[in-house]
Amino acid sequence: MAAQDGPAGRKALLPISFFKIILKTNLQTLKIPKKFTERYGGGLSNPVFLKPRHGTVREVYWTKQNGEVWFQKGWKEFAENYSLDYGHLVVFKYKGTSHFDVLILDQSALEIHYPSCDQNLDYESDDEESDENLGEWKDQKPNQKSPLLSPQPHKKKRGENSAAQRSSLSLNRPMGARAQEVAEAFISSKSNPFFTVTISSYDLVRRTKGVPALEGYIENIDKYVKLKIGKKRSWDVKLIYRHTANVRRILSAGWSLFARESELQLEDVCVFELISRKEEKPIFQVHVFKRRN
């Protein structure tokens, strides 16, 4: 166990942990326990580095106000990426050199299922097309605009898919209580597999969107998929495969066009239903559940 100098020459043992309960008031900024900052604050760099399990190290900048240390720049984005909500508990394990391991528990006191990849990463690829290069996607109509309907989860009918069957069709356990609620209520009319995601601020400004691994459903190569809303609107989006521990699949070129033209908003929940597994271009029917105001 490592030691670090504390006030008045005291030796502070590492690692050391503290936790914070998430409230609506600390999703924008987060106050660090005073006793921790008194003992370790003198050695903290700015920014510090947060590392969730199965996640990527993130930089968070802090400020000092009236002798208290607050996480500010970068904390809001961290909270959004991991869908932190009222009642979540976040455990910070300080390992020294300004690095924290982070453990996140949901309202049921169980550890969350972390995203398959961080949603704010910008992946570069020599063959990755620009979103503005629309010539390859002839079936798209960039100027077409229509209000996006907000479908509701299908109501369960007597004798229809059981909860266990629905669970077996879901390809991920989504982040956030509302996304989990939508996934649990969703019923595919043809027993198609599906995954569920919550739209974050990064999804609306970046060119990429991390999605589940889709193992056994789509071969492990880069390829285009078709995203459909309703019967007439569709977009071709490049699905990139990355054989790494944290990142497996990324919706890339064409994603921002899809998000913009389908008028996705922060905290919308999307169900991606795999309705066709054609080798040349798998098709996902996208069901959008608008955020609650």
2-105 and 163-289, same CATH topology? yes
Give me the residues paired with residue 276 across strands: 283
Alpha-carbon span 174 to 194, nearest angstrom:
11
Report the pLDDT value the prediction gives residue 229, as an integer from 0 to 100. 93
pLDDT at 12: 57
State residue 243's pLDDT score: 65
Cα–Cα dist 178/96, whole Å:
36
Domain boundaries, the chain: 2-105, 163-289
Q: What is the pLDDT of residue 159?
A: 45
pTM summary value: 0.48
Dist CA 193 CA 275 (whole Å): 8
pLDDT profile of the chain (293 residues), mean per 10: 48 79 89 88 84 82 88 90 85 88 84 59 37 30 36 46 59 84 87 90 80 86 92 90 68 90 90 88 93 74
Look at residue 238 in the predicted model and tell me its pLDDT.
Answer: 92
Report whether CATH 2.40.330.10 matches the domain 163-289: yes
How far apart are alpha carbons 269 and 291 in whole angstroms?
Answer: 7
Which helix (H) or strand (E) element contains residue 182?
helix 177-185
Helix (H, G, I), strand (E, B) or coil at 76: helix
Determine how many CB atoms are found less than 10 A away from the CB of residue 97: 13
Q: CATH homologous superfamily of domain 2-105?
A: DNA-binding pseudobarrel domain (2.40.330.10)
